[in-house]
């Protein structure tokens, strides 16, 4: 279906999930290549599914091509974090330290991932600006070391 340009987000998500279970991330990466060629609009939708994989592989330029507005991307990360915190505070069952810690971890990891993408693609000043905005929201040590951590890994 995807190879003929008749795929869907759900189908891509299902195949990526199966590949992850089978520990065959290369197959998901190849499927994303096919999707980019046969259905660029679907590839844009599916980027969210492969973003972690692409960043882990250092494919920063490709990632950046799917993040045209980095400020909006960071704002979305912040909105998701705020929603998680509001949900936890308004839900007696979810008002647990574990859920709030998980929300904080998602915020930090997604922010670090964006920073890594920016540094890795030569946009260090923009990465530092996002890091500084994130630190103003959360005094997490992992945010403070985000830019230098990426640079240190790149220099090895």
pTM, to two decimals = 0.88
DSSP 26: H
Please work out, in degrees rounded to the nearest 5, the angle formed at the alpha carbon of residue 43 by the alpha carbons of 49 and 84.
Answer: 35
Place 101 in a pLDDT band, splitting at 50, 70 and 90: confident
* pLDDT the model gives residue 88: 76
pLDDT at residue 154, rounded to an integer: 59
Q: Tell me what pLDDT residue 118 has.
A: 96
The mean predicted confidence, pLDDT, of the chain is: 91
Residue 155 has pLDDT above 70, yes or no: no
More confident residue, 22 or 156: 22
Give the residue with greater pLDDT, 15 vs 4. Answer: 15
pLDDT in the model for residue 106? 95
Is 60 exceeded by the pLDDT of residue 94? no
CA atoms within 13 A on the CB side of 99: 15
pLDDT of residue 26: 97
- CB distance 66 to 53 below 8 Å: no
Q: Closest Cα partner for 70 from 144, 128, 14, 6?
A: 128
């Amino acid at each position: 279906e995807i190879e003929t340009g008749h795929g869907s987000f759900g189908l891509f998500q299902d195949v990526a999930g199966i590949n992850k279970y089978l520990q065959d991330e290369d197959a998901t990466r190849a499927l994303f290549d096919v999707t980019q060629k046969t259905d660029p609009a679907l590839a844009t939708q599916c980027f969210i599914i492969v973003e972690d994989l692409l960043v882990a592989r250092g494919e920063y330029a490709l990632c950046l091509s799917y993040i045209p507005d980095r400020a909006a991307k960071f704002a979305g990360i912040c909105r998701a974090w705020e929603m998680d915190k509001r949900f936890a505070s308004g839900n007696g069952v979810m008002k647990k330290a574990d859920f709030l810690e998980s929300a904080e971890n998602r915020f930090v990891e997604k922010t670090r991932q964006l920073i890594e993408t920016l540094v890795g693609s030569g946009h260090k000043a923009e990465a530092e600006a996002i890091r500084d905005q994130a630190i103003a929201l959360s005094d997490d040590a992992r945010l403070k070391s985000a830019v230098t951590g990426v640079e240190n890994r790149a220099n090895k």
